[in-house]
Amino acid sequence: METLALNVTMRTQKLLKPRTHLLKSPLFPQNSHVYRTLYCQTGLSFTISCKLRISKDKSNTMAEKVSVAPSLSDEGGNTLGSGGVPSKPRRSTGGGFETLKKLPRRVLAILSNLPLAISEMFAIAGLMALGTVIEQGEAPDFYFQKYSEDNPALGFFTWRWVLTLGFDHMFSSPIFLGTVVLLGASLMACTYTRQIPIAKVARRWSFLHSAEAIRKQEFTDTLPRASIQDLGVILMGAGYEVYLKGPSLYAFRGMAGRFAPIGVHLALLLIMAGGTLSATGSFRGSVTVPQGLNFVVGDVLGPSGFLSTPTEAFDTEVHINRFYMDYYDSGEVSQFHTDLSLFDLNGKEVMRKTISVNDPLRFGGITIYQTDWSFSALQVLKDGEGPFNLAMAPLKLNGDKKLFGTFLPVGDPDSPNIKGISMLARDLQSIVLYDQEGKFAGVRRPNSELPIDIDGIKVVIVDAIGSSGLDLKTDPGVPIVYAGFGALMLTTCISFLSYAQIWALQDGTTVVIGGKTNRAKVEFPEDMNRLLDRVPEIVSSSQSMPSDNISG
């Protein structure tokens, strides 16, 4: 037997109060009710209470069902306060987490700032100019003397600036590389936040469904008796991508011009990446080797950065077969050549080539340049004895103006006052001889076998042995830089292509046309007029609306 008693009370409230509804719950029998309290914004509050009397068996069954029911705090995330009224949920402000989520956007906004990117480019240009003024790769003593503290450049610039900031190796210094990395980050941020969204928007079909919107474009015109479908065919023939949607038409041309700025940015990134790799991952070295001698490539090359990694080609041995020079009619040196042979670890010749200035040898990623020359030794016969190899010492070096000299002793070599014959040379083609008193004795050419008598001593100049000045380097960033400059030229040209958009609307037999372009503002109206003149005029007054889509 069940009895149910209900008590209903009503009162007015001025403030926000909870309201209790009677809700049927699946946790109870069909004739049972439970309390559920909700907030409302009314001025009235109803409280309905009920007393339910059921049998003992039904009470136990209900208790079992209630025990497995989830609490309000589990379901809704709210906990009950005093009197069974749920407390208001606390809103989390996010705090540091929200700030952390906004941080990447703020960083991207700062990096993509155009004045910042221009400042970075000017900073790189200034550092490069400074690197051409300051001698690179010299010994510290050189900078101690040239940029001494007693006579600082500009009143403050001394060797401390050069060595502390790494200006003696500018293009691999942390300041230069850091500026390059910052500029690269700005380019990537600009591409991500500006160029890519612009390109995505350009690819969307953008129909205008009102004549008023079309007439607001830069170029507008009206064809009183024309078909929008005929216009679409004319535009397709002019290279436009055309789309029809009912009475509306949208066409565009020159999409590559919208993507070209992205290509320009990528090309600049390639150039900077290649330059950075060249500065931090290459090897360089110089050597002057007399004719007939050898050297090992790895003994000459030195790393220029922390990414420099030697290869198997570093074990190659280079032999100087011959060094010789070409001359102008005036006697000045015009070109010098070196005949080189390359040998592997087994002594097998793997390559042979005669190099000259602007004609280097390339092997295994290593490039050998002909950059300089020197006078190594002079072979002479003295009274038929010899030949003797006399070392030639540089007496004057001033660019291409060089002077070398040697001395052939005469008499007792143990005497404190040794006298002899002096020999001077500007190049390998003629030797000037002086007697023991320093008087001019004559000129002889090497290999002429023509003797000269000086103070009763017969001297023959057998040969002049030159030394080849070679520069060796590995530069893994060169292909990347070349590819970057090629892409830069191509994408720069493509970026000058005009991106044109055309809208049209069929209004009865009248076609309303509008268009705009980002470049060629003067030529665009002329091109549009030529295209519109080709649209055929409708003779019949009945014109069916086009329903098919045209896709270029």
**Domain presence at residue 48:** yes
Q: Do 498 and 520 form a contact (C-beta atoms < 8 A)?
A: yes
**Domain presence at residue 243:** yes
Task: Give 200's DSSP letter.
Answer: H
Among the listed residues 323, 322, 315, 311, the one whose alpha carbon sits nearest the alpha carbon of residue 295: 315
Q: Average of pLDDT values for 270-293?
A: 92
pLDDT for the residue 324? 92
398 and 445 part of one domain: yes
Q: Average of pLDDT values for 334-359?
A: 94
214 and 293 part of one domain: no
97-125 burial string, b = 16+ CB within 10 Å, else e? eeeeeeeeeeebeebbeeebbeebeebbe
Question: Which residues lie closer than 8 Å to 458 by C-beta, 6 or more apart?
Answer: 381, 382, 383, 384, 451, 452
pLDDT for the residue 449? 86
Q: Is the dihedral of CA 191, 195, 197, 200 positive or negative?
A: negative
397 and 469 part of one domain: yes
Average pLDDT, the chain: 80
221 and 308 part of one domain: no
187 and 245 part of one domain: no
363 and 326 part of one domain: yes
Of the chain, the percentage scoring pLDDT greater than 90 comes to: 50
18 and 120 part of one domain: no
pLDDT for the residue 227? 93
pLDDT for the residue 304? 84
| Cα within 13 Å of Cα(549), Cβ side | 7
Q: Average of pLDDT values for 464-478?
A: 94
Domain boundary among 182, 200, 218: 200
**Domain presence at residue 481:** no
Confidence check: pLDDT of 72 > 60: no
**Domain presence at residue 515:** yes
**Domain presence at residue 82:** no
Q: How confident is the model at residue 136 (pLDDT cuts 50, 70, 90)?
A: confident
Confidence check: pLDDT of 523 > 60: yes
pLDDT for the residue 1? 40
Greatest C-alpha distance within the chain: 156
pLDDT for the residue 18? 40
Domain boundary among 163, 179, 200: 200
**Domain range for 146:** 101-200
Q: How confident is the model at residue 297 (pLDDT cuts 50, 70, 90)?
A: very high
**Domain presence at residue 404:** yes
Instruction: List, in sequence order, every residue forming a beta bridge with 21; answer none if it has no partner.
Output: 36
Q: Which of 87-91, 161-165, 416-420 has the lowest mean pLDDT?
A: 87-91
Interatomic CA distance for residues 150 and 64, integer angstroms: 98
152 and 45 part of one domain: no
Between 93 and 530, the higher pLDDT residue? 530
Interatomic CA distance for residues 283 and 298, integer angstroms: 10
pLDDT for the residue 96? 57
**SS3 of the chain: helix, strand, coil, percent, to 5:** 35, 35, 30
**Domain presence at residue 542:** yes
192 and 228 part of one domain: no
Q: What is the pLDDT of residues 87-109, one digit of tens each?
A: 444 444 455 556 656 778 888 88
297 and 394 part of one domain: yes
pLDDT for the residue 236? 94
CA geometry: angle 295, 300, 303, nearest 5 deg: 155
Domain count across the chain:
3
pLDDT for the residue 399? 60
351 and 452 part of one domain: yes
Confidence check: pLDDT of 10 > 80: no
pLDDT for the residue 149? 87
**Domain presence at residue 47:** yes
Q: Do 144 and 159 form a contact (C-beta atoms < 8 A)?
A: yes
312 and 238 part of one domain: no
Q: How confident is the model at residue 11 (pLDDT cuts 50, 70, 90)?
A: very low
Confidence check: pLDDT of 235 > 90: yes
